[in-house]
Amino acid sequence: MKKPNNAPKGRPNFKKAKKGTLGRVIKTLFKFYPVLVPFTAFCILFSAVVAVIPDFVLQKVLDCIKINSETGSWTVARPEILRYLIFVGILYVISLIAAVLNTQLTAVITQGFLSKLRISMFKGMQSLPIRYFDTHKHGDIMSHYTNDIDTLRQLISQSLPAILRAGSVVIGVLFAMLYFSIWMTLIVLLGVVLMTIVTKKAGGGSSKYFIRQQMSLGQTEGYIQEMMNGQKVIKVFCHEEECQKDFDKINEELYNDSKKAHSYANVLGPIIQNIGNILYVIMAVAGGLFIVTKAPNFSISGLPFGISIVVPFLNMTKQFTGNVNQLSQQINSIVMGCAGADRIFSLMDELPEDDEGYVTLVNAKISEDGKVTETKHHTGQWAWKHPHGDGTLTYTPLRGDVRIVDATFGYTENKTVLHDISVYAEPGQKVAFVGATGAGKTTITNLINRFYDIEDGKIRYDGININKIKKSDLRRSLGIVLQDTNLFTGTVMDNIRYGNLDATDEECIDAAKLAGADDFITRLPDGYETMLSNNGSNLSQGQRQLISIARAAVADPPVMILDEATSSIDTRTEAIVQRGMDSLMKCRTVFVIAHRLSTVKNSDVIMVMDGGRIIERGTHDDLIAQKGKYYQLYTGAFELQ
């Protein structure tokens, strides 16, 4: 059996996170929380400093005990030791308060940071061109908001605080060890060198597979999303087994990447811990030998070797190696977090849709002599506001005159889809495009609303080059009904009002009546307040299309684009819709794409397309008289009447 087109195409490409990714994460943290982040870092540093101080106190206590045990006078020793203990106790209480503040603030910063980041991601995604969504799997894009965000959460809430805390303790303990004994410090550092080598070997191997795991996870989610959307097709063609095999393949890749990543990561901790234990024994033996042999101590403090030096040093050795182990344990989380952050920043760094337009659409009042006056309130009339270099403004009434002149376009550089296309649509005209699938009909409408920009030629709207019109204003003047309906979670009324958020309930109901949707909507359990979800799965395809037509009607645009708008509607429903569509199309410029030629007979001009070229144009009667391609399509068995 041949593999379906949506089968995975092998392992996805992956790359290491950029070098500056971690720095960018930290910089963004400070940008979002310029006060809380430094204060939280201070709490962590304070706790780290407190962890080092008891070693100095222990040394003082041991010296005090030694001196007073030799003299036999405990009267002086007791209050001195008590002062040390009270001092340490106060420090621990303050450290506890700092730790509580740190954990609470970290939670606030982490969740707030992720919330702000998701908002930035979504805002940036909304400004991306259609081309981006046509060339990226939707499931993989979703993975940015789920898996990648989760790895970033672990990085910010766990790894960064742990690194700051453990790193501060390591530095503090290192200075403390140098204060007590440089010789013993050198022995500890030799052990740390061994730890570093092991960490590099194990950490380097795991980082590669953690990055692979993140990419494989995105591919897995993308494949699942495709399968969910295509369940009907899968079942119709009995492709369940093939899809299962394809899923097993990419799931196996995810399993292997995850297994190798965590195998490396899990072996790192026990190795580092045992190296630390061995180093502790070595330090105990070395300290004992230094005391027995009365070796000279080389240190900042100048104190000789003794119990008061060796005992705190053993404690510091345990602290030092333990925190080095903590640092090594964070390597994998950092790698995963940076890989996720890199994918997130890559999405945020995608260039937004170009919009060099400066002509805007404004409410206007147009007098009988054609004079245009801009108004702040909706009048039902619109005009193009055109600023000029000399500071003057001109207003052009919005009429719906669309002219495409010698347009050439291709979605990729190597393949031209449209060849030297010219289309003239005067206000109120109905222009139809017919032809085989892939002839370029939908591409023309994509150029009119500037989902894509032409490579050569011009498109003028009311005499204005559409490149000069702001895209949001251009699209606000266009109504579009697609073959594939998209309904959003909400009520029927909400979905109709999507075409014009300022529309009243009465206007939405009038639009539904115009589209022929009011009859079935009023028979729904809750009428216009019926909740829709999952793209209106509780409605028939025809009913969903009627709602999308009503949504376009409530927008009341001067130009309508109907891309196979009635293709999913049965013959009886089509008759109802056609009457509403005829009312909707009055006094508007309409572009119709249709395979069902009976729906375009009354068009003012019909364009017959083939291979990205317009091969015939004229009215229905003219084209029938020519007995060309249109005649063959209309009289042949190319459509069902």
Q: What is the mean predicted confidence (pLDDT) over 477-504?
A: 85
Q: What is the mean predicted confidence (pLDDT) over 93-115?
A: 89
**Token couple for 397:** 């009434």
Q: What is the mean predicted confidence (pLDDT) over 143-156?
A: 87
Alpha-carbon gap, residue 614 to 619, rounded angstroms:
14
Q: What integer pLDDT is reported at residue 35 of this predicted model? A: 93
Instruction: State the pLDDT confidence band at 113, using cuts at 50, 70 and 90.
Output: very high
Q: What integer pLDDT is reported at residue 639 of this predicted model? A: 44
Residue pair 214/241 in contact by the 8 Å Cβ criterion:
no
Q: What is the mean predicted confidence (pLDDT) over 157-169?
A: 88
**Token couple for 416:** 């031209």
Q: What is the mean predicted confidence (pLDDT) over 609-625?
A: 90
Instruction: State the pLDDT confidence band at 527, using cuts at 50, 70 and 90.
Output: very high
Query: What mean pLDDT, rounded, does the chain reach?
Result: 81
pLDDT digits (tens, 9 = 90+) for 430-479: 999 988 878 888 888 889 988 888 888 899 999 999 999 998 899 888 88
Query: Residue 404 above 80 pLDDT?
Result: yes
Which domains, ranges and CATH numbers included, belong to the chain?
Answer: 21-349 (1.20.1560.10), 360-397 (no CATH), 402-635 (3.40.50.300)
pLDDT digits (tens, 9 = 90+) for 378-402: 777 889 999 988 888 899 988 889 9
Instruction: State the pLDDT confidence band at 6, using cuts at 50, 70 and 90.
Output: very low
Alpha carbon of 532 to those of 86, 343, 353, 547: distances in Å? 67, 33, 31, 11
- In the chain, the percentage of residues whose pLDDT exceeds 90 is 15
Query: Residue 638 above 60 pLDDT?
Result: no
- In the chain, the percentage of residues whose pLDDT exceeds 70 is 86
Query: Residue 572 above 80 pLDDT?
Result: no
Query: Residue 236 above 70 pLDDT?
Result: no
pLDDT digits (tens, 9 = 90+) for 358-377: 999 988 888 877 788 888 88
Q: What integer pLDDT is reported at residue 327 of this predicted model? A: 81
Query: Residue 632 above 70 pLDDT?
Result: yes
Q: What integer pLDDT is reported at residue 11 of this predicted model? A: 44
Q: What integer pLDDT is reported at residue 466 of this predicted model? A: 92
- Say which residue, 99 or 139, is predicted with more confidence: 99
Going by C-alpha positions, the residue among 262, 258, 327, 345 that lies closest to residue 18 is: 345
Ranges 7-21, 125-139, 393-407, 448-462: which has the least confidence: 7-21
Q: What integer pLDDT is reported at residue 461 of this predicted model? A: 93
- Say which residue, 6 or 213, is predicted with more confidence: 213
Q: What is the mean predicted confidence (pLDDT) over 309-327?
A: 81
Q: What integer pLDDT is reported at residue 566 of this predicted model? A: 67
Q: What is the mean predicted confidence (pLDDT) over 606-629?
A: 90
Alpha-carbon gap, residue 356 to 489, rounded angstroms:
34
Alpha-carbon gap, residue 358 to 449, rounded angstroms:
16
What letters, b where the CB count within 10 A reaches 16 and e where it falls short, cover 289-298? ebbeeeeebe
Q: What integer pLDDT is reported at residue 181 of this predicted model? A: 83
Helices 240-292 and 182-229: crossing angle, nearest 10°?
170
pLDDT digits (tens, 9 = 90+) for 41-68: 998 888 888 877 776 666 666 666 666 6
What is the layout of strands, in order, in the sheet containing 559-563?
A: 478-481, 559-563, 589-593, 430-435, 605-610, 613-618
Alpha carbon of 88 to those of 46, 50, 53: distances in Å? 14, 9, 8
